[in-house]
Structure formats: structure tokens, C-alpha cells
Amino acid sequence: MQVASTAALWITSLLLLGTTLWRLRKPIDAALLVPGAWLVATPFQALLLAETLKFTGTPRDNMYIGVSIANLGFVGFQLLAELGVISSLQERARRMAAARGIGQADNVHGSVRYWFGGLLVVAVGLALLHWALMPRIPILMLFSGADDHQIQLARENAAKLLDAPTMLKYTFAWNSRFILPLLFMTTVLYRWRWRAVFVGVFGLVYLMSPLEKLPSVLFVLGPFLGIAIRDSKRLWSPIVIVGVVISLLPAYGINQAVSLSSSLNPTPPATAQATPTASPPVSPVSPGSQFTGLPAPIRGALHLVLRRIGEGPTDVTYSWFAYFPEHHPFMNGAGWEPWRVLSPGWQSPANLVGLWAYYGKLGYSITSLSAYGSFVADGWGEFGMVGVLIATLLLLMFAAVLETMQALAAGRLFCLACYATALVLFAVLTPQAGIPAMLFSNGLALAPLIVLGYLWTERRHAGARDVQPAGLPA
């Protein structure tokens, strides 16, 4: 089984690598960016780091087969794009929009300003409310002498454990991962300079305040990708490369600030607790343990890029395959039921896996920690290999929805901003989030809803302009 699963993963990964490299000749779209991010974060990491990360036995074989299924799904989606199936869907969407009287370009004096102003009020209001509800703002604790354990607790209390209704906590996540990045990209695409300055500064301060790295990366990277998509640039164009490098700076700053604070204020031994669940026989790689002996800034950069972005998602995905079903029966859809997820006291599969795999290890000392696995891991935890297949199909269906949105973005910068914001978030979340977490928890489902609402208001606004008062010449 080991030889067969390894061969399957090598073959499908090389096949996906070849088809993705072939897509590089075309402008950026979902058929290029999402499989590309998946390749970097998962398949080759699983193959090349298997010995380092201690992938062994049946869990490794199951993970290799699951990742191979996902690889084939991406190859199939790219094949559909090459054969023109996706472009035919886009053309149909254009014809439907034209038949309903929706113009080919948006009007900066029309509904765009109302959508931007309304979303800005919502975003600023949610950010201020979130700050007010936080017991302590984590970024300010870096200057108050708090140790690493206290900062971890503050981060959890500002997010999952915030004393607020569950739906309100979801809206805070939607604000940081989609609404604020959408507003920032909109100001850049429309060249609204002063509004871009305000949204950029306010948004970045808010997104960095809970010490989460991913939202700040997405926030900064989005406008670069949006400009590249608007101008039909290739993935390796200078603007994309510069955007990737610059987007890592806020996350690197957070990483270095936390490391410095932890070194100046070490966690007292009294805070160490016994692991509440059975741990795996081989401990996962501890953060930063691979880079000892290097200067702190270099060690921090390597930890961010190689550990957190590189091997981290694969390590977590393996933990899901090791935990289910040996240590916990498959969830059989319970993790995908909104009424369960929103119920008080619900222990998510990510929390179950996190406690089993990481709690008690260096840097993991809080019982609310969660190990967010890829869509493949989430599907496995629900239904086994059938769940992997279901999750792959659902992910590709949403990719098709995104590409349909791209057709409506031609000449409509606000639609383009929605598409590009969703595409960046989608590509980054694919290796580290399940389908429900992508669409609902992180707010990806907002993208098509906002586009449809905007097009409807544009149609109404255009209809109102065309109505002439009685007795006046047209």
C-alpha cells in the first residue's frame, strides 16, 4: 500500500505541476492560482518532508490517496478551462446580464459609491465593536510585559472565545477576511487616493491587532493581484512578485514582535498543563526548532515561510488522517451541519485534532487551540475517502462560480474587486480550510452575493436614469 500510495501521489502531483505550468502562459485565474497554491503547500511538501514530519503507516497512505484525488480534481478543472467549458459559462453569464439591461461598465457616480460607503460603515462599525468587546487587545500586550501564554489566551479571547453571540463572531471574521480587503482593493482600482490611505491604515491596524498573520497578508496582497488581473498580467509578472514580498512584511513583523516579547517575558513553568487527550507517539515538529543557531531575524523569516506557510498545512492535514478514524469515529456530516456548529458548547473537529496532536508541545498550551486542516482533511474527517471526493467536487464547483464572476467583472471594477478578493482568499484557504470554513466562516460566500446585489442596483440605477420626466425632451 505504501508503494502504491506514494506512486499515486508522485504521478498526480507531477501531472498537476505540468498542467499548472502550462496555464502560466495565460493571465491569472482560478484554474491557475488555486491549483498553484495547493501544489506549493501540500502535495510536494507531503512527499519531500515525509521523513522530517514523521508521516508513517496507514494515515500517510490515506493522506497520499486523498491528496491524489484532489490533484486529479484540479487537473480536471484545468482541462475544462482549456477545452473552453469555463469560457462558455462566462459567455452565458455575459449574455444573461446584457438581456437584463445591465451595462458593460459600472458608473462611479451610480451605485458604486453607495456600495462602498455602506460597506465602509459596516466595516468600521464592526472593527470598533470588536475592539470594544476584546477583554485585552493582543498587540498592545506586547508592550506590557505579558508572557507568551497570556498573549495566546488574549488571542483566543479576541476570536473564538470572545464573549459575544456566535453569529457576531462570524461577522468579525467576514470583516477581516473579505469586507476590509474588498474595500481596500476597490479604492486602489478606482484610484481613490485619500480613501485608500484611510482604509489601508485603519484596516491594517485592525487586522494586526489580534496578532493574526493571514488577514494582514491577504489585505496587502489583494490590490497587487487585482491590478495584475485587471491588466491581464501573468503570475510571474513583477507586480505579483513585489506584492507577495510586501504582503509578508506585516506577518513577519507580527512574528518578530511576538518572538521578542516571548524571549523577554518567558512563560512561567506553572502554566504548563498535562495534555487532556492522548498525544501521537511522535511529536510534530516544534515551531522554530529547525532553525536554531541562526540570527533571530533570519530564523523568524524561515519559520514564517518554511514552517507556517510551507510544512504547516501538510503537518496539520496528516494529523487529521491520523486522528480519524483511529482515535475518533468519522463525523458523518456533523461538522458540516450549521445548527451543530452554531450551538453552544460544540467542540469542532479542528479542536479535537488540535488537542490530540499539538496540545502540550512547545508553544501550544491552551485548550481551545484548533488545527485547521485542508479541504481534503476536512472531507476525510467527515466521511472518509467519500468525504474527500465530495469536498473536492464542492471546491471545484465554487471555482466555477468564481470564474463566472470574472466574466461579469469586465468593465466593472467593483465586480473585479469582489472577484480578485475572493480568488486570493480562496487560493490561500484551500490548503488550510474545509469547504464550510471557506464559504461560511471566512466569508467567501459573500462574494457572489455582493456581485449579484451590485448588478441589481446598477440595473435599477440605469433604469432610473433612462426615465425622463413627462413633457421634457429625451
End-of-domain residue from the set 52, 67, 95:
95
Residue 454, C-beta contacts closer than 8 angstroms, at least 6 positions apart:
106, 111, 112, 115, 414, 415, 418
Query: Phi-psi category of 363—alpha, beta or left, where left has phi over 0 and alpha has psi -120 to 50?
Result: left
Rounded CA separation 42/55 (Å): 13
Bond from prior residue into 297 cis (ω within 30 degrees of 0):
no
| pLDDT score of 287 | 40
Q: Are residues 33 and 133 in the same domain?
A: no
Query: Does residue 204 belong to any structural domain of this protein?
Result: yes
Query: Does residue 377 belong to any structural domain of this protein?
Result: yes
Three cell numbers, residue 226: 487585482
3-state secondary structure of 337: coil
Pseudo-torsion of CA 276, 158, 442, 344, nearest 10°? 60
Structural domain total, the chain: 2
| pLDDT score of 256 | 77
Q: Are residues 228 and 338 in the same domain?
A: yes
| Under 8 Å between Cβ of 367 and 160 | no
What is the distance of C-alpha 359 from the center of its chain?
Answer: 24
Residue 59: give the domain boundaries.
Answer: 2-95
Q: Are residues 238 and 308 in the same domain?
A: yes
Query: Does residue 473 belong to any structural domain of this protein?
Result: no
Query: Does residue 467 belong to any structural domain of this protein?
Result: no
Question: Please, what are the averages of pLDDT over each run of 10 residues along the chain (474 residues)?
Answer: 90 96 92 93 88 90 96 96 90 81 62 92 96 90 77 86 88 95 95 95 94 89 94 91 90 77 61 52 43 51 52 88 94 85 79 89 77 94 96 95 86 90 94 91 93 84 52 43
pLDDT digits (tens, 9 = 90+) for 62-96: 999 999 999 999 999 999 999 989 989 888 888 88
Q: Are residues 294 and 382 in the same domain?
A: yes
Bond from prior residue into 325 cis (ω within 30 degrees of 0):
yes
End-of-domain residue from the set 95, 127, 161:
95
CA neighbor of 101 nearest in space, from 465, 468, 460 = 460
Three cell numbers, residue 26: 495565460
User: How many alpha carbons fall within 13 Å on the CB side of residue 51?
Assistant: 1
Q: Are residues 285 and 406 in the same domain?
A: yes
Q: Are residues 164 and 23 in the same domain?
A: no
Q: Are residues 335 and 271 in the same domain?
A: yes
Q: Are residues 118 and 50 in the same domain?
A: no
Q: What is the DSSP letter of 104?
A: S
Residue 326, judged by CB atoms within 10 A of its CB (0-12, 13-18, 19+), counts as exposed
Q: Are residues 188 and 156 in the same domain?
A: yes
3-state secondary structure of 442: coil
- The whole model's pTM is what? 0.87
